[in-house]
Structure formats: structure tokens, C-alpha cells
Structure 1
Amino acid sequence: MAELPFTLDQLRILRAIAHEGSFKKAADSLYVTQPAVSLQIQNLEKQLEVSLFDRGGRKAQLTEAGQLLLNYCDRILSQCQEACRALEDLNNLKGGSLVIGASQTTGTYLMPRMIGAFRQKYPEVSVQLQVHSTRRTGWSVANGQIDLAIIGGELPPELKEILEIIPYTTDELALVLPTKHPMNRHKELTKEDLYRLGFLSLDAQSTTRKVVDKLLTNSGLEVQRLRIEMELNSLEAIKNAVQSGLGAAFLPVVSIEREILAGTIYKPIVTDLNVSRQLKLIRHPARYCSRAAEAFRNDILPSFADMKSPIRTEPITKD
């Protein structure tokens, strides 16, 4: 067998440069010197007899050959990581690692509790949580960078063909009001009452705002009639603004459980309004599933799907 014209270190360096956009930033991210990075790329180009980067601009731009090699590079390094995890599994969860993904709301409010329960049961397993958009999380699972993930949004069609998608639980979107709001005197509110409220919301261009608007529309609300008085850049900012008496909002129940129990925020009943979305577990069925990932899925996820909380659930199916 002929000797390979590249090393894993050279592939790691190539990927770092492509992701960081410069040789210097790549060197910093890998904790090596810039001359060392440049030398490795020069040697790689010499061995392959191609130019991998167009050095004419300020940013390190991949050539066609460089982009082609990068595509294989991601797959090769992903397979190496899988091999390492498989070997770590020989210790029967006495070590090893687990990489979990989640979309924004789930990753912020639900996943930390799950990871806490997992770490209590398997303290020697290293756990990493990556919180990104549904799309980016889906691609990370497809590329083998994440073992499994919980998402709330819709995946692109090309990912639906690759990934296993399993319904997990239902996340309710609830109307919340300041505790001293005048409408708190009413036992129940109607949809028409909502059009008289002043609302706090995310920026109209944010992906989460678009998802919320779609859920509200599907529930029968005329979103264009809701009076948006203030736009903020995060759910936490909206929640704090509601508690400060600045207006009403629609927020995921999982994000306001503590505030409801503490009485710092009010969740009224709205007749004929059910705004909810399906949370889903995603994994790559063709990739290696570590014992840590199996333990998280089989031991932790079902217990949280069955828990008695404001989140309505349906148990996840075990294989």
C-alpha cells in the first residue's frame, strides 16, 4: 500500500484555516506558531502537487482542490473521532465522552437538567453541550460532530433523508403577564382580549420569532393584530421585561417554570388557545452510537419525558 500524502495533523490544520479564515487565527486555535502552520501547508501542497489556498487576498481562500480536500477532511477526522469513542467504550462508561446538541430554547432550559441527571449517574463520562440553530445542529449530527440532539424547529429536507427523527415531547408556548397586570382580574382570557394587550417580542428577523409567529398563526391567532410595543434580543430579556411590568409575551413553558412557581410571572388561561410544538430527538442511524449516548437516550430522556411538569409529554420509544 502506497504511503498517504498527508497526515492527520495536516488535515486538522487545513480545517482550522478554512474555519478561522486565516493562518494566524488557525495557529492560535491550535496553540501552535504561525510559521509551523505555514510549513505544514507548504509540505502538504508539495506532497499533493496542488495549491490548496489562493494567497492573493487578505483572507485565506481555498482553491477548488483545497475545497475538495476539505470535504474529505471533515469525514476523515469525524471517523477518527468515532474510532476514539469506540475504544473509550471498552471501559464500560468508566470514562469516555458524550457530545449532545440542542436548539436554543431546549439547550438553555431543558438540557442542563438532563445533563445534571446523567452526570450524577455517570460521573466519569465527559459531557459537552453544543447549542445552535436547528439547522446547524442537524448538520453537526449528520457529520458526526454531535452524538444526538433535541431540536424544536424543522430540519431541511436533505437532513430528513439522512437522520433518524423521533418525536420526544411537546413544548407549550404560553401567554404570560406581569403579576400586577389589570387583566389578571379575569379568570380566563379570550383570543380577542389578546389584541388589546401590549406585547414584548423578539426581533422580527430572528428565526425564533418567525417560528413563534407561525405557531400562533396555526393556533388561530391573527398575528398582525397583536400590538408589539417592544422588541428584545433574547427570551431571558423578554422574561425579565415581563417581570418588570413592561408588557405581555408568549414564552416556552419550559423557560418560565421557576417564575410561575415563585409567583413573579402570571400565566393566565386563554380559552380555545393551544400553542405547542413537537420536540424531537435526532441521531444518525448509520454512525457509531457510543455506550454513553445509549445510556443518555435510554436512562435519561424517558425520565424527563415522563416527568410531571407544565410540559405535556409523550414517552420516547426505546429500541
Structure 2
Amino acid sequence: MQLDLYRVFYVTAIEQNFSKAARKLYITQPSVSHAIKQLEEGLGVQLFVRTSKGVTMTNEGETLFGYISPAFGLINNAERKISELKNFKSGQVTIGGSDSTCKHFLLPHIQTFQDLFPEIRIKLQHGSTPQILEKLSTGLIDIGVIHLPIDHDQIKITEFLTINSTFIVGEKYKDLAESILTLEDLLNYPIISFSETSSSRRFLKRLFQKQGLNVKPDIEVGSVELLIECAKIGMGIGFVTKELVSKELSEGELFEVRLNVKIEKRKIGLITKKEIPLSLAATKFFTHLVETRL
């Protein structure tokens, strides 16, 4: 039996009038009568009894209505939900990134986005670059924010931000910031960096290797905040994204170590799955990130 026939029956049962049902369905009154007749013949029962004011359901009609009413209610709710999503009245976006990336590079964009679309929920998941790639592959996140470069066949990469890396010290090693040093000079002091699996650590390693040097940090930390504190109290020379310590540098809590070699800029990228389109809400947020990036 065609679903359209049941829809005509459902609306007619609610309106209790063929003419009113026709107007609601945007069809003619004879079309409603014909559809009900087809349904009655197919089921082998009478569904409506005509009255002076319209129609009323028979016992069989009430039984049928009781079964199909929840189904059409769900369909109506689904159509309403799709309309809300289309107009950004609801929806959810899940983004993944490291703690520092989320805090310093993502949260400002989330705030401006929620000012524009307060009904869309934003969820955050943190992790290292390999963990974010895994979360994206398994569908746990819609968009990832990671340090580039990466090499992954199933991932679409969009460049998001350009960042600078630098070496920093606290008051104890302040004199190191007063002259230009070589990378080899830095090896005479404790080096503070992130864990070996982090993109920052891999970048640090390549930086020294280009000069024929090998670096093995004395202190490994798991967050920018901890690295900053370690540098402040004089535990060594920290390697960090410069944009993340701009406040401490400007206020004289940390000091930048100048080198005789230029440290190349790094890229932060947005990653999505190639073969799976983003939801309407996620697409809107992705566009917002790209359009408002620095």
C-alpha cells in the first residue's frame, strides 16, 4: 500500500473533513475521496462514516489511526528538525585539537560563532595529532585542528593559521636573551619541550638536525602552561609557539632567546574526512573558522 494513501487517511482523520484535508494536503477534494476509497478497498474495511459536518472514523479507522499516528508524528518531527538544522536553529559540531590549540587558537572563534548561532552546540575533544587523526577517522569528531604537515590519504587539509616558534627563558637565564646564540650554544643548557610524539617535538628535532646536531630535551611536559612555568622558575630553555607566550614576553616574565639561524614558520591546519560531507552546522562552523582566521 502506498505511503501517500496513509498520509491522506492520517490528515483526514485529524481534520474530520475531506475538504479541509484536501486544503492541508494541497490536493482536490475528489482526490482525497479517491485515496480513501483505494485504501479501504486495499484493506477490505470501511474507515470513515460520512456525517452532516464531515466524517468520523469507524472502529477499524480508529485502530488504523492508532498504529500509524506515531509514525507520521515522527515524520513531522523529522521534517521540523531538518528545517531547524537548515536555518541553524539547532545542530552540533564536535572539534578536536590539542589543549593549547583549543585554548589559544580555537576558543576565540567558538565564542564569535556562538554569538551568531547560539542554538548550535559546540563540543571539544582534546588529544595529540595521532589521536585527533584517529578520532576523525572513527567519526568521533567532525573537524580536527592540528599542526602540519601530515600525510594521510583520507584526510582533506585546509591551512588555517601560520605560527612562529621560539626559545624562551625566565629570569635565571635572562642573560641568554642579551646576545645572539647558535643552536649548539643551547645544548649547554637544559631544554624544555613537549613529549616525543608531539608535532612540536618533531619540529624541534628537525631544526637541530639541519645543523648537524642532535637534541634530547632534559624536561618533557604535557602542556604549554606547564612549559611556561618551568621556564619562569629557571628550569631551562623552553621551546614553544611564540603566539602562546606573547603576554609573558610583553610583561617581562619571560625572555626570547635570539638565534643566528631563522626558525621557519609552522602551519596549523583544519582537517576533515574526504569522502564524508560535513553536516550543515559543521559546514557553517568550518566556513566561520576560515573566514575569521587571522
Instruction: Please tell me the TM-score bracket, short chain as reference.
Output: 0.5 to 0.7
Aligned pairs for 1:114-133 within 5 A: 114-133=109-128
**How far apart, CA to CA, are the structure 2 residues paired with 1:222 and 1:266?**
24
Specify which of 255, 260, 278 is matched with residue 271 of structure 1: 260
The TM-score with structure 2 as length reference comes to 0.62
Structure 2 partner of 1:258: 247
Q: How far 1:302 sits from its partner (Å)?
A: 3.3
Match 2:207 to one of 207, 212, 216? 216
Q: Paired residue for 1:191? A: 183
Structure 1 segments unaligned to the other structure (5+ residues): 1-82, 307-319
Paired residue for 1:98? 93
Match of residue 157 from structure 2: 165
Alignment partner of 2:143 out of 148, 153, 156 = 148
Q: Give the structure 2 partner of residue 110 of structure 1.
A: 105
Q: Tell me the CA shift for residue 137 of structure 1.
A: 1.6
Highest Rg: 1 or 2?
2
**Are the aligned partners of 1:176 and 1:251 in contact in 2 as well (CA < 8 Å)?**
yes
Query: In 1, Cα distance between the equivalents of 2:278 and 2:83?
Result: 12
The structural deviation recorded for 1:296 is 2.0
Cα distance change, pair 288–179 in 1 and its aligned pair in 2 (3 A): same
> What do the CA deviations read for 1:260-319 (whole angstroms, capped 9, x no partner)?
233211113222131443222111233232232222222233322x3xxxxxxxxxxxxx
Q: 2:226 aligns with which of 211, 216, 237?
A: 237
Instruction: Give the Cα–Cα distance (whole angstroms) in 2 for the partners of residues 129 and 283 of structure 1.
Output: 15
- Shift, 1:89, TM fit: 5.2
Q: Displacement of 1:199 after TM fit?
A: 2.0
What's the % identity of the aligned pairs? 22
CA change 1:116–1:90 in 2 (3 A) is closer
Q: Given that residues 129 and 199 in structure 2 are in contact (C-alpha distance below 8 angstroms), is that contact kept between their aligned partners in structure 1?
A: no
The change in CA–CA distance for 1:213 and 1:187 in structure 2 (over 3 A counts) is closer
- 1:281 corresponds to which residue? 270
CA drift of 1:184 comes to: 4.4
Report the residue type matching 1:193 in the other structure.
Answer: D
Give the letter aligned to residue 273 of structure 1: K
CA, structure 1 residues 89+258, in 2 after alignment: closer, same or farther (shift >3 Å)?
Answer: farther
Segments of structure 2 that go 5 or more residues without pairing to the other structure are 1-77
Distance 1:99 1:266, change over 3 A: same
Match of 1:137 in 2: 132
The number of equivalent residue pairs is 216
In the TM superposition, what is the alpha-carbon distance from 1:208 to its structure 2 partner?
4.9
Going from structure 1 to structure 2, the CA distance change for 1:281 and 1:201 (only over 3 Å counts) comes to closer
How much has 1:177 moved relative to structure 2?
1.0
Q: CA shift at 1:133, angstroms? A: 2.2
Aligned to 1:3: none
Helix, strand or coil at the partner of 2:256: coil
Q: C-alpha root-mean-square deviation of aligned residues, in Å?
A: 3.0
The answer to whether the 8 Å contact 1:88/1:96 transfers is: no
